[in-house]
Chains A and B, each alone.
Chain A
Amino acid sequence: MRYSLEQLRSANARYGMFHAMADTVEGDFQFSAKDNLTSKGMETCAGSRILEGYVPAFDATAISKIKAAGGTLVGKTNMDEFGFGTFSANSGFEIPRNPYDTDRACGGSSGGSACAAAVFEGHVSLGVSTGGSICCPASFCGVYGIAPTYGRVSRYGLIDYGNSLDKIGPISADAKDLRKFTYMIAGKDPKDPTSCVQPDGFGEDRPVRRVAVPKEGVEGLSQDVADAFEKALSKLDSLGIETETVDMPTLKYAMPAYYVLATSEASTNLARYVGMRYGRQDGDLSLKFDDYFSDVRSRCFGDEAKRRILLGTYTRMAGFRDRYYAKALQVRQAIIADYKRVFSDFDAVLAPTMPFVAPKFEDISKMSALDSYKADYLTVPANIAGTPHMSVPCGYDPDGMPIGMQFVTDHWNENLLFSTAELWQENFTARRPEVVM
């Protein structure tokens, strides 16, 4: 559906999904993209005050491919600063509000994208996942979202969080869009060498038949999520999809390894933001360079960005590097091996996407950093392994808040996910939020 600029603005006033918005929105095919994907001529801040005023000179490959297919970029979606968060509450700008209950979060870090996908009919928004940032908000906002295999979509124009983990993928209320848009944005791009190793196809094109449910994936769930997941399993059974409980002992190491790798890389990526070449350049020029950039960074980075820079700098320090960074690289290999072992018997690994439904902002403000890190324990393993994964809506709690489940398949096997999502959509009654514009 085509929305007018007034409608988009009015929705944005209520839900806060957009950071920058287009001045004109001609064309029937509207889409939006997370604000860490560069958009030529449209401000791009990756949720950070330090990039305020940065207008990129080039489009991210994923955005330019959708534009080439006739898409109109209507806005850039709010997110946790540089992707550092689970609720989009660590945004340097506006925090998107859940379309099912505006007192609750959209999830993160692609919160604004999932929000836009839930609010606007027929709208696809590009998200980016480093540790679960597509599936988490898709789950909280009751929509479909996929993080394709690492390397499937060019990262050219993606403002880096953890380069070895970042993946771009579509979020939509319509399962069929996952296939359509992944095909549209995928492919080898000489501007991103890591995209050039992908095979041509997307694997076997049929719904999954045998699915492994790791014991580790059903621990620590809220009762509502556990109940909804239980029902979803019986529904899968009725669709002829077999599920079986398995052990994946390495999954419990995914979280610490992820935070070491992601923050190590992030701390090097964020080193360039010194208030000098782009974004904020309003420091006190009479200061020495070191003092100048320390001042800009102290003022413009949020607390979570500072925390991750410190963590990441620590884990790669001489003397600690082997104990943390090098160890985490080994853990990643062990997790990949564990997935491969399971995929020799099963088409997919399945678990709830998040252990609870979208929390209220007042509860989020009481959570410690560690509490919110822990909330990602179900999405992090597939992200550290680089395997494609998808969240589909699978139920609602008594308050009507959406619950999602996440399928993970082997590298380069996105077609299994697309077919499964399409089959699921035909058999699951999704509830739309009551949208007020």
Chain B
Amino acid sequence: MKIGLEIHVQLPTKSKMFCSCPTTDAPAPNTHVCPTCLGMPGSRPVLNRKVLEYGIMLAKLLGCRVADTTWFSRKTYFYPDMSKSVQITQYDNPVGEGGSYKMASGKVIRITRIHVEEDPGKTKRVGDLSSLVDYNRSGIPLAEIVTEPDLSTPAEAREFLKQLIADIRHVIDLPSDGERSIRCDCNISVGKERCEVKNVTGLKNVERALTYEVLRQTKILKSGGKIERETRRFDEEKGVTISVRKKEFEADYGYIDEPDLGIYDIRELAASIRIKESPQNRASRIASQYGIEPKMAKQLVSTSMGLADLFEEVAGKYDPQTAIKWVGGPITANWKAMEENGRSPEAVVGIIDRFTSGEITDSECTMEIRSAMTGESMESIQTASGGLEDLINAFLDENPEVVNDYRKNDKAINRVIGTVMKSSGGRYSSAEVVETAKRLVESRLRSQT
């Protein structure tokens, strides 16, 4: 099975791609419009340079060759939601070509190209006989990322998209409500011929649409039928794909160069753009650079880039083991509470410093970190954690075999956690229980050896 995706991402510019209309949510249909995005005769596009910058950033994220010169093309468009009836897109010399993207699983997905183009407006059906068109979206910049057919299953396609979108969001500061503004055309072939499911919105629907296609195509092949090359659409409610047009009616887009816009030499611009490290790349780098478990690296990065920053700071200042112990332990455990309380982690490095110089003990360090991060007083933490530590120690005293079991299989700790969670009746958060149990078991283990 082969799956390739064409992913459309709205770029977070303040104004539209070829005019100065805002890209923010409009108060009413057809209010964020002007002669240019309405395609009025005599109006003309003027390129928003920021679009090329975002295009270059994404090309770099995806390891593409960034073009020296890039330009735009006109593509015939067949529906009333594009005011000019042609779309300004890129055909020859797109911003980036020939890249690759490494998934967390290690699998590499080749990227064919990335280009920038304008979004059409929206058509809304009213009643049986008429439709309304809203051009507020018309001219919002999009990046289209085209992959080679390197994905093997619908689930993998979803995982790929999930990681890619997280990376894109981080690199170009895409707002997190941008999920809906990501649309996919999905190409899939179970046998030889491929079908394209157009304009699927959201990760879950991509997987659903592809899964349906796998079943549909497999069924046809099993019964001795032939898959026809065609374009289909996905019905979200019914969860099925529906044929839109057959190959012989495939569109001929009649591309020509866009004569109103010039040729852009983007060598200097591209050289000046440094992109932020994507979460995916950062997790792999942290894992290999500090020799920690990939799982932990991934957890650090996915919890927060700030947590990953702290990890690197501590690992650099002391050593990776100290960073694993403190950043991977109590700091990770308290991160969410810290964010919820609107606090910052700036004090924790000083606390770790006092621990490494022997000023404070292991458990004092843990409590101080928690106090600094959550704002709870030391007294209440001492009482609470004293209570928690007592509970765990009591359990371990009664069940000393757990410590030995843990040496062989770290899942043994789940017995401690389960029992304490139950007996404490939810007084402690699970993160807290896990962290304390691990710390106490490990300290017993160390004193044994």
B76 touches A268 (CB 8 A): yes
From B35-43, B53-61, B199-207, B317-325, the one touching the partner chain is B35-43
B129 CB–A CB distance under 8 Å: yes
CB neighbours (8 Å) of A160 from chain B are 41-42
- Given the complex, which residues of A lie within 8 Å of B43, measured CB to CB? 58, 156-157
A to B contact number (C-beta, < 8 Å): 99
Which A residues are CB-close (under 8 A) to B397?
none
As a 0/1 sequence over residues 134 to 147 of chain B, the CB contacts with chain A under 8 angstroms (1 = contact) are 00000000000000
Q: In the bound complex, what is the Cα–Cα distance between A89 and B297 (angstroms)?
A: 75
A155 to B261, CA, bound (A): 12
Please determine whether A272 and B47 come into contact, CB atoms closer than 8 angstroms: no
Known: A268-B256, A318-B252. A44 touches B46 (CB 8 A): no
State whether A193 touches B47 (Cβ < 8 A): yes
Judge whether A163 is part of the interface by a CB distance below 8 angstroms.
yes
Stretch at the interface among B81-89, B162-170, B336-344, B349-357: B81-89
B42 touches A38 (CB 8 A): yes
Residues of A within 8 A of B76 (CB): 268, 271
A155 touching B83 by the CB < 8 A rule?
no
What residues of chain A lie closer than 8 Å to B84, measured between beta carbons?
271-272
Contact A191 B44 (CB under 8 A): yes
**B262 at interface, CB cutoff 8 A:** yes
Contact A316 B254 (CB under 8 A): yes
Partner pick for B41 among A46, A164, A193, A265, CB 8 A cutoff:
A46
Partner of B44, one of A156, A264, A289: A156
Give bound CA distance, A190 to B131, whole Å.
36
Give bound CA distance, A259 to B46, whole Å: 27
Interface size class of chain A, counting residues whose CB lies under 8 Å from the partner chain: 35 or more
B132 to A: closest C-beta gap in Å: 12
A336 at the interface (CB under 8 A from B): no
B162 CB to nearest chain A CB (Å): 35
| B42 engages A159 (CB within 8 Å) | yes
Query: Which segment, of A49-57, A108-116, A200-208, faces chain B?
Result: A49-57
Partner of A193, one of B40, B80, B261: B261
Minimal beta-carbon separation of A275 from chain B (angstroms): 11
- Chain B contacts of A310 at CB under 8 A? none
The distance in angstroms between the C-alpha atoms of A276 and B260, with both chains bound, is 24
Closest chain A CB from B394 CB (angstroms): 76
Task: Give B251's nearest chain A residue, CB to CB.
Answer: A318
* A286 CB within 8 Å of chain B: yes
Taken together as a complex, chains A and B put the C-alpha atoms of A164 and B46 apart, in Å, by: 15
Q: Is B395 an interface residue (CB 8 A)?
A: no
Question: What residues of B have a CB within 8 angstroms of the CB of A1 in the complex?
Answer: none
Minimal Cβ-Cβ distance residue in A for B46 = A193
**Nearest-CB residue, chain B, relative to A197:** B262
A158 proximal to B (CB < 8 A): yes
B259 at the A interface (CB under 8 A): yes
A274 partner residues in chain B, CB cutoff 8 A: 80, 85
- Chain A, residues 162-201, CB within 8 Å of chain B (1/0): the string is 1110000000000000000000000000111110010000
Q: Is the CB of B42 within 8 A of A277?
A: no
How many angstroms from the CA of A157 to the CA of B260 in the assembled complex?
Answer: 13
B15-45 vs A, CB cutoff 8 Å, 1 = contact: the mask equals 0000000000000000000010011111110
> When chains A and B are docked, how far (Å) is the Cα of A157 from the Cα of B254?
25
Does chain A have a CB within 8 A of B406? no
Question: Looking at B38, B44, B261, which has the most chain A CB atoms within 10 Å of its CB?
Answer: B44
Residue A313, interface by CB 8 Å: yes
Q: What does the 1/0 interface line of A271-291 toward B look like (CB < 8 Å)? A: 110101110000001100100
Task: Report the Cα distance A170→B43, complex, angstroms.
Answer: 21
Chain B residues lying within 8 Å of A209, measured Cβ to Cβ, are none
Cα of A151 to Cα of B346 in the assembled complex, Å: 58
Q: Given the complex of chains A and B, what is the CA–CA distance between A191 and B80 in angstroms?
A: 25
Separation of A341 and B129 alpha carbons in the complex (Å): 62
**Which chain A residues border B46 with CB–CB below 8 Å?**
190-193
Closest B residue, CB atoms, query A151 = B262
State in angstroms the CA–CA spacing of A155 and B79 once bound together. Answer: 27
Residues from chain A with a CB closer than 8 A to the CB of B262 are 193-194, 197
What 1/0 mask marks residues of chain A from 146 to 161 whose CB sits below 8 Å from any chain B CB? 0000000001111110
Q: Is A60 an interface residue (CB 8 A)?
A: yes
Which listed residue, B47, B86, B130, touches A271 by the CB 8 Å rule?
B86
A317 at the binding interface (Cβ < 8 Å): yes
Count of chain B residues with a beta carbon within 8 Å of a chain A beta carbon: 32
A58 and B43 CA atoms in complex are apart in Å by 9
- The distance in angstroms between the C-alpha atoms of A276 and B257, with both chains bound, is 26
Q: How long is the Cα–Cα vector from A271 to B75 in the complex, in angstroms?
A: 11
Taking CB atoms, residues of chain A closer than 8 Å to B41 are: 38, 44, 46, 51, 54, 56, 159-160, 272, 278
Q: Does A321 lie within 8 Å of B255, measured CB to CB?
A: yes
Q: Among the interface residues B80, B83, B129, B254, which one has the most CB atoms of the partner chain A within 10 A?
A: B254
CA distance A60 to B42 in the complex (A): 7
- Say whether B158 faces chain A, with CB atoms less than 8 Å apart: no
Q: Are B252 and A272 in contact (CB under 8 A)?
A: no
In-complex Cβ contact of B80 among A46, A155, A162, A276 (8 A) = A276
Question: Do A265 and B40 have beta carbons less than 8 Å apart?
Answer: no
Is A346 interfacial (CB-CB < 8 Å)? no
Shortest distance between the CB of A164 and any CB in chain B (Å)? 4
Q: B62-85 toward A: CB 8 Å interface, digit per residue (1/0)?
A: 000000000000101101100111
Give the dominant DSSP class at A's interface. Answer: loop
Inter-chain contact A278/B40, CB cutoff 8 Å: yes
Closest B residue to A196 by beta carbon equals B262
B residues in contact with A407, CB < 8 Å: none
Q: Which of B40, B41, B74, B130 has the most CB of A within 10 A?
A: B41
Name the B residues within 8 Å of A191 (CB-CB).
44, 46
- Among A163, A197, A313, the one with the most B-chain Cβ atoms within 10 Å of its Cβ is A163
CB distance from A161 to the nearest CB of B (A): 11
Query: Which B residues are CB-close (under 8 A) to A155?
Result: 44, 260
Q: Taking the complex as formed, is A325 at the interface, i.e. its CB lies under 8 A from any CB of chain B?
A: yes
Task: Tell which of A46, A162, A264, A271 touches B85, judged by Cβ atoms closer than 8 Å.
Answer: A271
B232 to chain A, nearest CB (A): 20
CB neighbours (8 Å) of B261 from chain A are 193
In the bound complex, what is the Cα–Cα distance between A190 and B19 (angstroms)? 11
Which residues of B sit under 8 angstroms from A267, Cβ to Cβ?
254
For B42, the chain A residues whose CB sits under 8 A away are 37-38, 44, 56, 58, 60, 156-160
* Separation of A231 and B144 alpha carbons in the complex (Å): 62
- Give complex CA distance A159, B260 in Å: 12
Find B130's partner among A60, A277, A285, A318 (CB 8 Å cutoff).
Answer: A285
Cα of A318 to Cα of B91 in the assembled complex, Å? 13
Instruction: Please indicate the chain A residues that have their CB under 8 angstroms from the CB of B260 in the complex.
Output: 155, 163, 192-194
Residue of A nearest to B77 (CB): A271
Q: Across the interface, do A317 and B39 meet the contact criterion of CB distance under 8 Å? A: no
* In the bound complex, CA of A325 to CA of B92 (Å): 14
Contacts A158-B42, A271-B85; is A289 near B254 (CB within 8 Å)? Answer: no
Contact in complex: A286, B129 (CB < 8 Å)? yes
Identify the closest chain B residue to A195 (Cβ). Answer: B44
B365-410 interface with A by 8 A CB criterion? none
Contacts of B252 in A (CB 8 A): 317-318
When chains A and B are docked, how far (Å) is the Cα of A213 from the Cα of B35? Answer: 45
Q: Are A277 and B47 in contact (CB under 8 A)?
A: no
Docked Cα-Cα span, A286 to B129, in Å, equals 7
Q: With A272-B85, A274-B85 in contact, is A164–B259 under 8 Å at CB?
A: yes
Residues 254-284 of B at the A interface (beta carbon under 8 Å): 254-257, 259-262
* Closest chain B residue, CB of each to CB of A321: B255
Tell me which residues across on chain A come within 8 A of B74, comparing CB atoms: 268
- 18 A-B pairs, CB-CB below 8 angstroms? A58-B40, A156-B44, A157-B42, A157-B43, A159-B42, A162-B259, A164-B259, A193-B261, A194-B259, A264-B256, A265-B256, A268-B256, A271-B77, A272-B86, A276-B80, A277-B38, A316-B256, A318-B252
What 10 A-B pairs have minimum CB-CB distances, sorted nearest first?
A: A271-B85, A164-B259, A163-B259, A38-B42, A316-B254, A157-B42, A159-B41, A268-B86, A272-B84, A272-B85
Beyond A57-B40, A316-B256, A321-B256, 16 extra complex contacts between A and B, CB < 8 Å: A44-B42, A46-B41, A57-B35, A58-B43, A163-B260, A193-B46, A193-B261, A194-B259, A265-B259, A268-B254, A271-B85, A277-B39, A277-B83, A286-B129, A318-B253, A321-B255
